[in-house]
Each structure stands twice: as C-alpha cells, then as structure tokens.
C-alpha cells in the first residue's frame, strides 16, 4: 500500500521532541484563513475535527488530519511533512516556541500509485 503522508528525518526528530514534552500528538491541516495553510501540531484531542475531516495516515503514531474540503482538492497528492526554522502562521502549533514551523510539500500520485493507496478514515 502506498502511504499518503511521509516525513523528513528533521520533522520526525521534532515530533519526538514534542511528544516527550506534550505526550500524544495530532496534526491538522486546514485550508482556511484562521488556521493558516500550514499543518498545526496539537496535543491529541486538543483540536476538534469537523464532520467529514479526513485522517490520511500517521507519522510516528501521530494521526495527520486534513480539512474535508482541502482533502477533496488534494486527494491525488502525496504529502511530505518537513520543518523549517521560522515562526509559523498564527503561532498555535506546538513547535512555535522552538522557533520551528511544520510545512507540507506536495507531489501528485502516479497512476500506478493511485491504484494502491492506503485507505483514509473520516469523522462521521
């Protein structure tokens, strides 16, 4: 099965640091103005998803949720979670005090990959 999301070693390292400090985590990728367009990292349960939002996979046992409308737009894309040295949008994400920002890089799945994608789960 083809994963819908992967992460760079740098992002995985930051997730491990945040898990040590905060416990279980979750990611949420919104497409709106208030949350910004960068993935936000929260303590698990610290953000309430909406009906129809989509979990596209996990990184280091951390669920990665995507806004339902954004998923419709990007359902044919593979996400790679990375991190940069910068102050992110809004400052709500747990990495902000460390002067880091999670980001997503996208690429379109090949026709062959599309045939074998990992299933997603939805909030019902």
Q: What is the tens place of the pLDDT at every residue in 14-70?
A: 999 999 999 999 999 987 665 557 899 999 999 888 999 999 999 999 999 999 999
Q: Label the pairing between strands 25-29 and 62-66.
A: parallel
pLDDT of res. 80? 97
Please give the residue that has the higher pLDDT: either 74 or 35: 74
Name the token pair of 23: 């416990």
- pTM for this entry: 0.93
Q: What is the C-alpha to C-alpha distance for residues 77 and 110, in angstroms, rounded to an integer?
A: 9
**Who contacts 114 (Cβ-Cβ below 8 Å, separation ≥6)?**
76
Helix (H, G, I), strand (E, B) or coil at 9: helix
> Please, which residues bridge with residue 107 across strands?
78
Q: What is the C-alpha to C-alpha distance for residues 40 and 26, in angstroms, rounded to an integer?
A: 8
């Amino acid at each position: 099965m083809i994963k819908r999301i992967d992460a760079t070693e740098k992002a995985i390292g930051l997730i491990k640091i945040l898990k040590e400090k905060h416990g279980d985590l979750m990611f949420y990728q919104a497409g709106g103005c208030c949350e910004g367009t960068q993935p936000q990292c929260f303590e698990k349960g610290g953000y309430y998803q909406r009906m129809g939002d989509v979990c596209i996979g996990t990184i280091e046992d951390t669920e990665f949720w995507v806004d339902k409308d954004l998923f419709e737009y990007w359902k044919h894309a593979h996400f790679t979670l990375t991190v940069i040295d910068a102050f992110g949008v809004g400052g709500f994400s747990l990495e902000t005090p460390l002067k880091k920002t999670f980001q997503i890089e996208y690429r379109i799945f090949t026709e062959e990959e599309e045939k074998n994608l990992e299933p997603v789960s939805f909030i019902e």
